[in-house]
């Protein structure tokens, strides 16, 4: 896209390390960013994501949607022109086979506490 400057982004992992920074076209989707993170995930970090569905990207306190572009997901407040945007990566813990979502039995396990 002519006239659109690349956006420099780094991804902050839960241990404080980063992936990047790298420059991305503003039309890059969040899903594509997640695929990049998955392919560049540090092998020495335990509990890494298995699929892009295991990842959530957060920018300025907002969870980014897969179908949105980087340009749509930007929050310009506080950005320094030519600066690097830091997005936080959250990995959903893996579900074991025993933790499959419950159907009708979930009613019985609800807390009945009342806070006064």
Nearest CA to 12 among 42, 51, 50?
42
Of residues 112, 62, 116, the one with CA closest to residue 90: 62
pLDDT digits (tens, 9 = 90+) for 13-31: 988 999 999 999 999 999 9
pLDDT in tens, 52-64: 999 999 998 899 9
The model's pTM: 0.73
Q: How confident is the model at residue 113 (pLDDT cuts 50, 70, 90)?
A: low
> For residue 106, what pLDDT is reported?
47
DSSP helix, strand, coil percent of the chain (3-state; round to 5): 20, 25, 55
Give which of 64, 38, 68 is closest to 50, Cα–Cα.
Answer: 38
Instruction: Pull the structure tokens for residue 83.
Output: 């600066």
**What is the spatial distance between Cα 29 and Cα 70, in angstroms, rounded to a whole number?**
6
User: 93: which 2 tokens?
Assistant: 């813990």
């Amino acid at each position: 896209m002519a006239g659109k400057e690349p956006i420099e982004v780094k991804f902050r992992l839960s241990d404080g390390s980063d992936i990047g920074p790298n420059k991305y076209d503003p039309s890059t989707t969040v899903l594509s960013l997640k695929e990049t993170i998955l392919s560049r995930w540090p092998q020495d970090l335990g509990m890494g994501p298995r699929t892009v569905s295991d990842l959530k990207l957060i920018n300025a306190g907002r969870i980014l949607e897969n179908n949105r572009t980087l340009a749509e997901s930007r929050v310009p407040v506080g950005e320094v022109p030519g600066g690097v945007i830091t997005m936080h990566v959250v990995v959903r813990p893996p579900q074991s086979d025993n933790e499959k979502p419950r159907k009708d039995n979930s009613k019985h396990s609800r807390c009945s506490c009342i806070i006064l």
